[in-house]
């Protein structure tokens, strides 16, 4: 259930980064929630994509809350150390820039500049209590498919409530937005499940 890898689902993440950078321009705080982040490959990918697109001062305003309900997975994320064979998909120049050899043979650690932007937090999505508020971007990929249809809608409503006006929501390519919550979001691109929050009357 925790299957994941670096640079997975790159197209929706690249779209999200593009929309986010426009929306967050000039802001002193940019909050991102990666929900169901497993061992960290996804939030670190997101961090690398953002670091590549933002200037270093703007990037320091970014916080990625990386949450999962499986504590042992979060331990891997907090260390940010991965074997070389799990890093093969990362473009060579990005690997050289954002990973450094770890004391352990054949292992590499994500550089501090990216790790400092990630806050690992234990969180169960089915508690329906958000891990924070005012998020500019929520990424929840390859998680909702494990839930019952009504749970899926409840979790998406929770995300909507935790997002700031105009924020971006990303889920995986195969996950269609359920009709019951479709009015809460506007789909932004035709090739990916990338949405913008709509304001709805209470
Ligand atoms: C297949 S992984 C997806 C990892 C990453 N998002 C990706 O797309 O590569 C699914 C993750 O969802 C987490 N998960 C499943 N149910 C959850 C829940 N109720 N609350 C929080 N995380 C959950 C699992 O622990 C697992 O790490």
**97 domain-assigned:** no
Q: Residue 136 is encoded by which pair of tokens?
A: 């500019």
Give me the pLDDT at residue 175, please.
82
pLDDT tens-digit map of 107-118: 999 999 999 999
**2 domain-assigned:** no
CB 130 within 8 A of CB 121: no
- Positive or negative: CA dihedral 71, 140, 4, 113: negative
**31 domain-assigned:** yes
Looking at the structure of the chain, the number of domains it has is 1
Give residue 147's domain range: 12-82+114-197
**183 domain-assigned:** yes
Looking at residue 40, the DSSP 8-state letter turns out to be T
CB 123 within 8 A of CB 15: no
**1 domain-assigned:** no
- Positive or negative: CA dihedral 55, 77, 8, 146: negative
Q: What pLDDT band is residue 1 in, cutting at 50, 70 and 90?
A: low
How far away, in angstroms, is 129 Cα from ligand 1 center?
16
How far away, in angstroms, is 36 Cα from ligand 1 center?
4
Q: Is the CB of 2 under 6 A from ligand 1?
A: yes
pLDDT tens-digit map of 73-110: 999 999 999 999 999 999 999 999 999 998 889 999 99
Task: Note the residue count of the chain.
Answer: 202
Which CATH number does the domain housing residue 46 bear? 3.40.50.150
Q: Is the CB of 3 under 6 A from ligand 1?
A: yes
pLDDT tens-digit map of 147-189: 999 999 999 999 999 999 999 999 988 889 999 999 999 999 9
Sorted by sequence, the CB contacts under 8 Å of residue 59 that are 6+ apart come out as 50, 51, 113, 117
**148 domain-assigned:** yes
Ligand 1 test: best mutation among 33, 38, 123, most atoms within 8 Å of CB? 38
**202 domain-assigned:** no
Atom 12 (ligand 1): residue with closest C-alpha?
Answer: 36
Of 142, 154, 147, the closest CA to residue 180 belongs to 154
**87 domain-assigned:** no
- Positive or negative: CA dihedral 187, 149, 125, 155: positive
Q: Is the CB of 58 under 6 A from ligand 1?
A: no
Higher-pLDDT residue of 202 and 100 is 100
């Amino acid at each position: 259930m925790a299957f994941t890898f670096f640079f997975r689902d790159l197209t929706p993440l690249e779209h999200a980064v593009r929309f986010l950078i426009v929306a967050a321009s000039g802001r002193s705080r940019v909050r991102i929630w990666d929900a169901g982040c497993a061992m960290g490959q996804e939030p670190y990918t997101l961090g690398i994509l953002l670091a590549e697109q933002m200037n270093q001062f703007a990037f320091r305003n970014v916080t990625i809350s990386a949450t999962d309900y499986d504590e042992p997975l979060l331990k891997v994320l907090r260390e940010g150390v991965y074997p070389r064979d799990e890093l093969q998909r990362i473009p060579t120049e990005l690997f050289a820039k954002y990973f450094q050899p770890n004391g352990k043979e054949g292992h590499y650690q994500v550089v501090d500049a990216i790790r400092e932007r990630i806050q690992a937090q234990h969180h169960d999505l089915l508690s329906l209590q958000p891990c924070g508020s005012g998020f500019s971007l929520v990424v929840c990929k390859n998680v909702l498919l494990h839930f019952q249809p009504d749970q899926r809608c409840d979790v998406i409503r929770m995300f909507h409530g935790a997002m700031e006006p105009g924020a971006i929501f990303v889920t995986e390519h195969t996950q269609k937005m359920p009709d019951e919550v479709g009015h809460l979001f506007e789909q932004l691109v035709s090739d990916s499940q990338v949405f913008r929050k709509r304001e709805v009357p209470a």
